[in-house]
């Protein structure tokens, strides 16, 4: 029998500190009205100075393991999706492996920016279906406040910190979500549209890179918007096509929480009422790789997801990268 991959537990974590639009008004030339109408954001969470990506990831991971009713010793592999790791090396996944006490688990960081959660789901699905592993812990965590320039009003209003996690397993449970299909894409020719210019081997940290503020993310917002809508739509349509579903078969659309206008544009293209789109952007802003996972966790806790319901996940990020995943609620007794 062909093995199948399922999400059997989810969890998320956001820092306590809230950064409101009113607070941003005092920091840069902006306004609550400007931010809200253009992004849909009202507040975002900011990690404490001594709270790092691995710390937030740990909290989300513990909750996901509890939800899945397994221990860290049951985990075979840990995948961490992040563009703000604690260190360039060692990997944040290795730090989490040690802190969780997952002694039998291999560990790996992946970097697909805001699409990281879906890339991790696709990798985990492949690992399970191949028979190599049984339980894979996915963690998506970001401390974007560490690379945001709070003097740049075009970017500082957008981003927040947070983490999400899920357990992907070969087992079926009472509330498992079958990962039916994933569809990924990338276009490195557009890398400059969203980039952290310095800090890597091409431009190591120096007095000049610090002076020129090259350790903060840079974004061409209008171009990113244009590609985000088109690429997320294409990946979602391909994902549904592969398994013979249409937009009418989707119970919930869970998009990357980048911008309310992007989310509304995707819903309109799919002819989905906004009531079928799960939105958290007003509370947390854009938390990159973790945003989709945070939204999925909240959806599963706060809304009814019944047997046979289809969840469409879609994301887009720096790279450029994009992807979609189709999850379906199962029944343990089928």
334 domain-assigned? no
What pLDDT score does 334 carry? Answer: 57
Structure tokens belonging to residue 82? 């992040």
199 and 105, same structural domain?
Answer: no
Per the structure, the complete domain to which residue 311 belongs is given by 179-329
289 and 184, same structural domain?
Answer: yes
What pLDDT score does 271 carry? Answer: 86
CB-based contacts of 307, cutoff 8 Å, min separation 6: 329, 330, 331
133 and 164, same structural domain?
Answer: yes
213 and 295, same structural domain?
Answer: yes
233 and 111, same structural domain?
Answer: no
305 domain-assigned? yes
Catalytic hit among 21, 135, 259, 286: 286
127 and 224, same structural domain?
Answer: no
188 and 237, same structural domain?
Answer: yes
From first to last of its 334 residues, the chain has per-residue pLDDT tens of 678 999 999 999 999 999 999 999 999 999 999 999 999 999 999 999 999 999 999 999 999 999 999 999 999 999 999 999 999 999 999 999 999 999 999 999 999 999 999 999 999 999 999 999 999 999 999 999 999 999 999 999 999 999 999 999 999 998 899 999 999 999 999 999 999 999 999 999 999 999 999 999 999 999 999 999 999 999 999 999 999 999 999 999 999 999 999 999 999 998 889 999 999 999 999 999 999 999 999 999 999 999 999 999 999 999 999 999 999 999 765 5
CATH code of the domain in which 85 resides: 3.40.47.10
Contact (Cβ atoms closer than 8 angstroms) between residue 258 and residue 286: yes
Continuous H helices in 243-326:
260-269, 281-284, 289-302
What pLDDT score does 332 carry? Answer: 63
Q: Which of 136, 154, 173 lies at the terminal end of a domain, its last residue?
A: 173
pLDDT, tens digit, 9 for 90 and up, residues 207-245: 999 999 999 999 999 999 999 999 999 999 999 999 999
> Hey, how many other C-beta atoms are within 10 angstroms of the C-beta on 25?
16
Is 286 an annotated catalytic residue? Answer: yes
What pLDDT score does 44 carry? Answer: 98
1 domain-assigned? no
140 and 28, same structural domain?
Answer: yes
Catalytic hit among 94, 135, 256, 310: 256
What pLDDT score does 211 carry? Answer: 97
Q: Which of 127, 142, 173 lies at the terminal end of a domain, its last residue?
A: 173
Catalytic hit among 114, 166, 183, 239: 114
What pLDDT score does 192 carry? Answer: 97
Q: Which of 121, 142, 173 lies at the terminal end of a domain, its last residue?
A: 173
259 and 217, same structural domain?
Answer: yes
The DSSP annotation for 21-57 comes to: HHHHHTTSS--HHHHHHHH--SEEE---TT--HHHHH
pLDDT, tens digit, 9 for 90 and up, residues 115-130: 999 999 999 999 999 9
What pLDDT score does 331 carry? Answer: 73
Strands 161-169 and 6-13: antiparallel
313 domain-assigned? yes
> Hey, how many other C-beta atoms are within 10 angstroms of the C-beta on 101?
11
Contact (Cβ atoms closer than 8 angstroms) between residue 303 and residue 22: no
130 and 10, same structural domain?
Answer: yes
Could you identify the residue written with the tokens 């989810």? 10
What pLDDT score does 2 carry? Answer: 75
Total number of domains constituting the chain:
2
CA 10/CA 19 separation, integer angstroms: 26
- Give the global pTM: 0.97
Strands 310-317 and 252-255: parallel
159 and 253, same structural domain?
Answer: no
306 domain-assigned? yes
What pLDDT score does 1 carry? Answer: 66
What pLDDT score does 172 carry? Answer: 93
298 and 162, same structural domain?
Answer: no
């Amino acid at each position: 029998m062909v093995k199948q991959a399922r999400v059997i537990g989810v969890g998320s974590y956001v820092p306590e500190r809230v950064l409101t639009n009113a607070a941003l008004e005092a920091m840069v030339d902006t306004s609550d009205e400007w931010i809200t109408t253009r992004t849909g954001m009202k507040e975002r969470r900011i990690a404490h100075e001594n709270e790092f990506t691995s710390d937030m990831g740990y909290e989300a991971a513990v909750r996901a393991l509890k939800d899945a009713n397994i221990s860290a010793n049951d985990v075979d592999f840990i995948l961490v999706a992040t563009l703000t790791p604690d260190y360039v090396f060692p990997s944040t996944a290795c730090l989490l492996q040690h802190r969780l006490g997952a002694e039998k688990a291999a560990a790996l960081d992946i970097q697909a920016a805001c699409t990281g959660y879906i890339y991790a789901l696709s990798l985990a699905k492949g690992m399970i279906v191949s028979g190599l592993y049984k339980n894979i812990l996915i963690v998506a965590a970001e401390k974007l406040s560490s690379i945001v320039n709070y003097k740049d009003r075009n970017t500082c209003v957008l981003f927040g910190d947070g983490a999400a996690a899920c357990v992907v397993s070969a087992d079926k449970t009472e509330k498992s979500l079958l990962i039916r299909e994933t569809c990924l894409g990338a276009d490195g020719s557009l890398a400059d549209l969203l980039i952290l210019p310095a800090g890597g081997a091409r431009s190591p940290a120096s007095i000049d890179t610090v002076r020129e503020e090259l350790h903060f993310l840079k974004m061409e917002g209008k171009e990113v918007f244009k590609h985000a809508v088109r690429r997320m739509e294409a990946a979602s349509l391909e994902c549904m096509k592969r398994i013979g579903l249409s937009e009418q078969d989707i119970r919930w659309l869970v998009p990357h929480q980048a911008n309310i206008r992007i989310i509304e544009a995707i819903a309109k293209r799919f002819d989905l009422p906004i009531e079928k789109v799960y939105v958290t952007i007003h509370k947390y802003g854009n938390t990159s790789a973790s945003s989709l996972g945070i939204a999925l966790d909240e959806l599963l806790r706060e809304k009814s997801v019944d047997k046979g319901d289809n969840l469409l996940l879609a994301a887009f990020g720096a790279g450029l990268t994009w992807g979609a995943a189709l999850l379906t609620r199962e029944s343990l007794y089928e």
